[in-house]
Amino acid sequence: MALLILWGVYQGRKVKTNSDYAIAGRKLPGWIAALSERATGESSWALLGLPGAAYATGLTEIWTALGCVAGIITAWAAIAWRLRDEAEKYEADTFTDYIAKFHKDNGKWIRIVGSFTIVFFFFFYVGAQFLGGGKVLHTMFGIAPTTGMIITAAIIVPYTIYGGFRSVVYTDVIQAVVMITTLVLGPIVGLIYLGNHPELFAQSIPMALEKAGPAYNSLIQAASGFGAGVVIVGGFSWFFGYLGGQPQLSMRFMAISDPRQAKKARNVGVAWTVIAYIGALAIGWIGIAIFGPDGLEDREYVMPAVLLKIFPPAIAAVLITGAIAAMISTADSLLILSSTELSENLIKPASKRKINPRKSLMQSRIITALLAVIALILAHYVKEDTIFTLVSYVWAGIGGTFSIVVLFTLFWKRFHGKATLITIVSGMVFTIIWIGTGMDEKITARVMTFAVAALVAIASTLFLKPSKKLD
């Protein structure tokens, strides 16, 4: 972890301007951007969440993996290079900066509403990552969760404040390598371990799924009719959040240096994703073979439990660090994104006097530090259930809503600023109502928000005229 901090600070020495701080000067090599995007996109999901879900539900979790992989491949193949070209064309330094510059007829309000929405919800998203880091350190070392949260923040915050987006991206690369190593070595050694230990619940994954029961050995949890459809749609619905609507991921696309590097990034990003998701599912199913379907109190600790079982403690500890790396790679990305959105789109435009580049860069660093402190306090005082509910708002509300905004901006010439603003507001309001009334348990907001935002965007584009006055 100390080496990680030093590497981040070293990269931060190359930051000279606000553009460097916010988007690495739009000069990222393709493979760097791809590994950073993948490390950020997976957070603790690929190492704790997905293996845990595979352990709890068996083959059904394949639909979730397929939805995620299909979304990521679509994003890299159809959206990444277009966003890169657009960011260069409009000289955009933040996510909403690009949308506002494209839709000049309502650019000012798009900038204000879009940035405020992202910053508000990402406060809690950062807090959730601090909370997750605290839980992992508590489980591994018996450290008090609050102390673990402070340690997690102490690792992330220094290099994020100093080097901004550039430091975050280059530390993500190390984290992506640790994560993929865990997701490759874990399943390979796990399968060998199963074959050599006949005393376990099962000696192979197929045997484990069969012995665990029909629900585990079925792609639809042994459901039928409408219930089967709900299972499939619920899993595959993760697809919609990857279509340009997650600002922390889209920023990686926008920062790639040139079209040739964008192709390299696509190949690296897709390969990493396919390998990682196969590995994550396999670790969950290996957990069933080792511990049985009811052998773990908390399903989301199946990855560390499996690794501690099949590896010597020293090797297992290094690989388990992948889970902490995943949380760090998301927390620092969310933090710098929130900081740049707040400073570049809300605070600096409101200031009437011009600030020289050096003072402007210092202002960005101060804002980043303040956001980190607020997120840490929120994580400590707000109930855990509240934080993770708000994280679900982020994926559905921001992911589903902004995916429509980005897709329509890129692919539909008639889509205008007034429709963009109405879509952002409608998507977030609908998500809050849908999840708040419990409807999310019947049909996931990840699907509904995307569909409602699309309908609103189409209707407002067709029935409203764009504003003639440019902001």
Q: Is the pLDDT of residue 222 over 60?
A: no
CA distances from 39 to 191, 285, 309 (A): 25, 23, 25
CA distance 372 to 21: 16
Provide mean pLDDT across the span 86-90: 94
Express the helix, strand and coil content of the chain in percent, nearest 5 each.
Answer: 80, 0, 15
This prediction's pTM: 0.89
pLDDT > 70: percent of the chain: 94
**Amino acid making up residue 309:** K
Average pLDDT, the chain: 88
Q: Is the pLDDT of residue 225 over 60?
A: no
Instruction: State both tokens at 281.
Output: 């599912």
Length of the chain in residues, anyone? 471
Residue 471, Cβ neighbours under 10 Å: how many? Answer: 14
Provide mean pLDDT across the span 360-370: 87
Q: Is the pLDDT of residue 205 over 90?
A: yes
How do residues 270-297 score in pLDDT, each as one tens digit?
999 999 999 999 999 999 999 999 999 8
How do residues 375-400 score in pLDDT, each as one tens digit?
888 888 876 666 666 677 787 889 99
Quote the pLDDT of residue 133.
79
pLDDT band at 180 (very low <50, low <70, confident <90, very high): very high
Provide mean pLDDT across the span 401-406: 95
Contact 127, 382 (CB under 8 A): yes
Q: Is the pLDDT of residue 11 over 80?
A: yes
CA distance 124 to 340: 17
Q: Is the pLDDT of residue 245 over 80?
A: yes
The three-state DSSP-derived secondary structure of 185-201 is HHHHHHHHHHHCCCCCC
Provide mean pLDDT across the span 29-40: 94
CA distances from 146 to 58, 130, 137, 255 (A): 34, 9, 10, 35
Quote the pLDDT of residue 469.
66
358 compared with 448, residue with greater pLDDT:
448
Q: Is the pLDDT of residue 301 over 90?
A: no
Q: Is the pLDDT of residue 226 over 80?
A: no
Give the burial class of 7: count Cβ atoms within 10 A of its Cβ; 0-12 exposed, 13-18 middle, 19 or more buried: middle
Quote the pLDDT of residue 169.
93
Quote the pLDDT of residue 449.
94
Quote the pLDDT of residue 386.
67
pLDDT band at 442 (very low <50, low <70, confident <90, very high): confident
pLDDT band at 352 (very low <50, low <70, confident <90, very high): low
pLDDT band at 466 (very low <50, low <70, confident <90, very high): confident
CA distance 300 to 179: 16
Contact 38, 176 (CB under 8 A): yes
Look up residue 216 and give its DSSP letter: T
Q: Is the pLDDT of residue 188 over 60?
A: yes
Quote the pLDDT of residue 471.
56
Quote the pLDDT of residue 224.
53
CA distance 281 to 183: 9
Instruction: State both tokens at 459.
Output: 């209707």
**Amino acid making up residue 2:** A
**Amino acid making up residue 182:** T
CA distance 134 to 142: 10
pLDDT band at 221 (very low <50, low <70, confident <90, very high): low
**Cα-based angle 321, 325, 329 (whole degrees, multiple of 5):** 180
Quote the pLDDT of residue 228.
65
CA distance 378 to 356: 33
Query: What are the structural domains of the chain?
Result: 2-92+122-383 (1.20.1730.10)
Q: Is the pLDDT of residue 346 over 90?
A: no
Q: Is the pLDDT of residue 150 over 80?
A: yes
